[in-house]
Chain A
Amino acid sequence: DSGVTQTPKHLITATGQRVTLRCSPRSGDLSVYWYQQSLDQGLQFLIQYYNGEERAKGNILERFSAQQFPDLHSELNLSSLELGDSALYFCASSSAGGMEDTQYFGPGTRLTVL
């Protein structure tokens, strides 16, 4: 158990809909990362937050947005969903957010768009 929790575990929705994925980092960790893993693909970095502020942005679509709240939990919002958004979405956390910090991953949320 990494200490990072993600909810829900599974999500099935229809095209055009909007969903929110939630992540609670390990106790004491200030940084949260979001990744997308599509079938047979590696982990695609989406976005990183550090202590409530956006720190780095990867290949995140404009239809997607995220935020980190004062209690340090984070939400990833996916809107106007398309079939190709079906994937595993991982959240990770680290203590200080440096690129040398070990990232601790949650178990992921599996999103299926029908």
Chain B
Amino acid sequence: DQQVKQNSPSLSVQEGRISILNCDYTNSMFDYFLWYKKYPAEGPTFLISISSIKDKNEDGRFTVFLNKSAKHLSLHIVPSQPGDSAVYFCAASDTGGFKTIFGAGTRLFVKA
């Protein structure tokens, strides 16, 4: 039972354009959401997060949008850079239940 789904295994974007990575979740108890980025041969690194009381959080080129009614969040990267090429994991936390579930990841390719 996949509670956090990233339905696109990969995404290719031209440098300078917007990258949009999507994530869906099924558990309404999730109240905190995170995105991690992972380069080959390294562990994931935290990128940005959002609490369920917000619908948007921005940090430089990265913005996360949360649509609670649709149980959907997305990560926007503008403008995309070749160094953004990595695997992006969406994660959802049930802060009361001490549970964090990760999605399967989306591999982003940013072409120069």
Contact = CB atoms under 8 A, between A and B. Distances in A.
A92 B43 CA distance: 9
Given A102-B46, A105-B45, A107-B42, A40 B98 contact: no
Contacts of B94: 99
A106 interface: yes
B7 to A, nearest CB: 12
Interface in B26-55: 32, 34, 36, 41-46, 49, 51
Interface residues on B, range: 20 to 34
Given A48-B98, A99-B32, A2 B93 contact: no
Interface string A30-45: 0000010000111111
B59 to A, nearest CB: 13
A41 B104 contact: yes
A36 to B, nearest CB: 11
A110 to B, nearest CB: 9
A103 interface: yes
A98 B46 contact: no
A108 B43 CA distance: 6
Contact of A56 (B42, B51, B99, B102): B99
Contacts of A55: 98
Given A48-B98, A56-B98, A58-B99, A107 B49 contact: no
B12 interface: no
Interface string A52-90: 000110100000000000000000000000000000001
Interface of A: 2, 4, 35, 40-45, 48, 55-56, 58, 90, 92, 97-100, 102-108
22 contacts: A2-B45, A40-B104, A42-B6, A42-B105, A43-B44, A43-B91, A43-B102, A44-B102, A45-B100, A45-B101, A56-B99, A98-B95, A99-B32, A100-B32, A100-B93, A100-B95, A102-B34, A102-B49, A104-B45, A105-B36, A105-B45, A107-B42
